[in-house]
């Protein structure tokens, strides 16, 4: 079998066989295919696409390219978010679901670009480590019902090779390649049931609802074909999901929601919706209303926050210690009166990077205290001079940032109609 023939077949719009897909992924993992041929194949897939069978088999081949984890659980229910700005859902959802008695084994990643990473947020907690051995990870899930671990290099190594090439060959934005990348890692990390939080909007990977739904449908179909029941929620990311953007700031907001002492109502709503779907995955005959009731009880009773404290302590952290605090801050005030009609989530995510909250390159060092805190959201009425947002950093803040932050807001004389935070659920 020759890679040349496989490239040519896909370039001409052909359908790749199971054997061809497995051959490419196996050879790719072993380093037996030069980058120029892999790049050519990725471009052919980007242009010509893949059908549902090809996409599912590509997913399985990537999942099988490295270690496959067995969590030794009757059901291992995992959640995945396609990412966004202020997306703190894992820090709230995982403790809620675990407090409901459902084990959560969560492997997660670091942030790159304007989207934050759960590992970075967790590591802003003093003493906490996400570097667990596989034995520690599985043992912790089976003893306290929750573990939060950084993804290992042994999981789906072919995906890392392919993504590095996609990133530099303008082939990232391909539904079959995105869907297989996400689902392969969930399958390889032991998930038997998967709940997806697929974002749409300016701050999301998929800016349009149509593309987000296409991606969600593709991943749900992969789950069906490979025997991993999957449900996807389409959720809005036109404005930041929470009030906080930045690592310790987002941990603080997660704690506020878990303790009932504040936090964005939008973030709380999405977290409850995702958690409820995870419960429905576990208890297959559970009605929507009962699932929401149970997750709200876990949240309101304090059980979810107790579970977060338990997992943080198990991984060496201490929530009783003060989180990182910034030395410098800048409050941005409104230059007009009116209703906030729009907040540019992408612009705010990019500004948070310049403050030190995120990375442009993988080796960049984070300022865990850096970031932004929204003081007003879309739909709020503000007077001239009212505070809109505060910037935080341990490095001196350039005062010209005031204008860039203010420009991320738009105003109107009438109150805007807000789209639903959860637009649709795809089963």
Lowest mean pLDDT among 82-86, 145-149, 281-285, 386-390: 82-86
pLDDT band at 154 (very low <50, low <70, confident <90, very high): confident
Model confidence, pTM: 0.93
- Position 45 confidence tier, pLDDT thresholds 50, 70, 90: very high
Q: How confident is the model at residue 399 (pLDDT cuts 50, 70, 90)?
A: confident
Same fold yes or no, 3-49 and 77-314? no
Average pLDDT of the residues of the chain: 93
Per-residue DSSP letters for 89-158?
HHHHHHHHHHHTT--EEEEE---BTTB--HHHHHTTSTT------HHHHHHHHHHHSEEEEEPPTTSSHH
Amino acid 152: pLDDT: 78
**What is residue 86's predicted lDDT score, i.e. its pLDDT?**
76
What do you get for the CA distance between the two ends of the chain, in Å? Answer: 38
Q: Residue 113 has what pLDDT? A: 58
2-16, 70-84, 89-103, 239-253: segment of lowest average pLDDT: 70-84
* Closest residue by Cα to residue 38 from 49, 23, 52, 50: 23
- Cite the active site residues: 80, 159, 166, 181, 185
pLDDT value, residue 114: 59
Per CATH, the architecture of 3-49 is what? Up-down Bundle (1.20)
Listed range (101-115, 213-227, 278-292, 398-412) with the worst mean pLDDT: 101-115
Query: For 296-343, what is each residue's pLDDT tens digit?
Result: 999 999 999 999 999 999 999 999 999 999 999 999 999 999 999 999
Mean pLDDT of 57-76: 93
H-helix or E-strand spanning residue 284: none
The CATH number for 328-412, chosen from 3.60.40.10, 3.90.1170.30, 3.60.10.10, 3.40.50.2020, is 3.90.1170.30
Decide if pLDDT at 94 tops 70.
yes
Question: What confidence tier does 358 reach under pLDDT thresholds 50, 70, 90?
Answer: confident
CA distance 105 to 190: 8
Residue 10 pLDDT greater than 90, yes or no? yes
Candidates 347, 350, 129, 111; CA nearest to 247 is: 111
Mean pLDDT, residues 269-273 taken together: 97
Q: Which of these ranges, 91-105, 197-211, 354-368, 392-406, has the smallest mean pLDDT?
A: 354-368
Pick the CATH number of 77-314 from 3.40.1030.10, 3.40.50.10610, 3.40.50.970, 3.30.413.10: 3.40.1030.10
Question: Which of these, 82, 87, 114, 90, lies nearest to 211 by C-alpha position?
Answer: 82
Contacts of 123 (CB under 8 A, 6+ apart): 129, 130, 247, 368
Does the structure show a pLDDT above 80 at 362?
no
Ranges of each domain in the chain? 3-49, 77-314, 328-412
User: With 0-12 CB in 10 A as exposed, 13-18 as middle and 19+ as buried, what is 390?
Assistant: middle
How far is CA 79 from each of CA 120, 351, 401, rounded to the nearest angstrom? 18, 28, 36
Query: Of 151, 157, 153, which Cα lies nearest the Cα of 65?
Result: 157
């Amino acid at each position: 079998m020759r890679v040349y023939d496989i490239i040519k077949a896909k370039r001409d719009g052909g359908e790749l066989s199971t054997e061809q897909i497995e051959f490419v992924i196996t050879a790719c993992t072993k380093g037996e295919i030069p980058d120029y041929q892999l790049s050519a194949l990725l471009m052919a897939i980007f242009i010509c696409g893949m059908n549902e069978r090809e996409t599912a088999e590509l997913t399985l081949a990537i999942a099988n390219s490295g270690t496959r984890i067995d969590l030794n659980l009757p059901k291992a229910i995992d959640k995945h978010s396609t990412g966004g700005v202020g997306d703190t859902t894992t820090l709230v959802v995982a403790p809620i679901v675990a407090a409901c008695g459902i084990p959560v084994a969560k492997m997660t990643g670091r942030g790159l670009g304007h989207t934050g990473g759960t590992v970075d947020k967790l590591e802003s907690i003093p003493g906490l480590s996400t570097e667990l051995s596989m034995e520690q990870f599985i043992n912790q899930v089976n003893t306290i019902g929750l573990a939060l671990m950084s993804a290992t290099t042994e999981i789906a190594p072919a995906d890392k090779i392919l993504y590095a090439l996609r990133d530099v060959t303008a082939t990232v934005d391909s539904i079959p390649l995105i869907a297989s990348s996400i689902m392969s890692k969930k399958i390889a990390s032991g998930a038997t049931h998967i709940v997806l939080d697929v974002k749409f909007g300016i701050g999301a990977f998929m800016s349009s609802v149509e593309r987000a739904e296409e991606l969600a449908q593709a991943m749900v179909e992969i789950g069906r074909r490979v025997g991993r029941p999957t449900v996807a929620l389409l959720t809005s990311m036109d404005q930041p999901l929470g009030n906080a953007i930045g690592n310790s700031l987002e941990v603080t907001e997660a704690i506020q929601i878990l303790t009932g002492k504040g936090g964005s109502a939008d973030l709380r709503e999405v977290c409850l919706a995702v958690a409820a779907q995870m419960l429905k995955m576990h208890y297959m005959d559970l009605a929507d209303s009962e699932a929401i009731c149970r997750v709200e009880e876990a949240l309101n009773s304090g059980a979810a926050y107790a579970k977060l404290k338990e997992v943080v302590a198990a991984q060496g952290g201490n929530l009783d210690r003060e989180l990182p605090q910034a030395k410098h801050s800048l409050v941005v005030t409104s230059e007009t009166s009116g209703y906030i009609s729009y907040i540019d989530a992408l612009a705010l995510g990019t500004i948070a990077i310049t403050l030190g909250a995120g990375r442009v390159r993988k080796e960049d060092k984070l300022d865990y205290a850096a970031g932004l805190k929204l003081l007003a959201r879309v739909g709020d009425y503000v007077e001239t001079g009212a505070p809109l947002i505060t910037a935080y950093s341990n490095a001196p803040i350039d005062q010209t940032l005031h204008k860039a932050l203010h420009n991320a807001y738009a105003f109107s004389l009438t109150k805007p109609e807000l789209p639903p935070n959860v637009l649709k659920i795809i089963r």
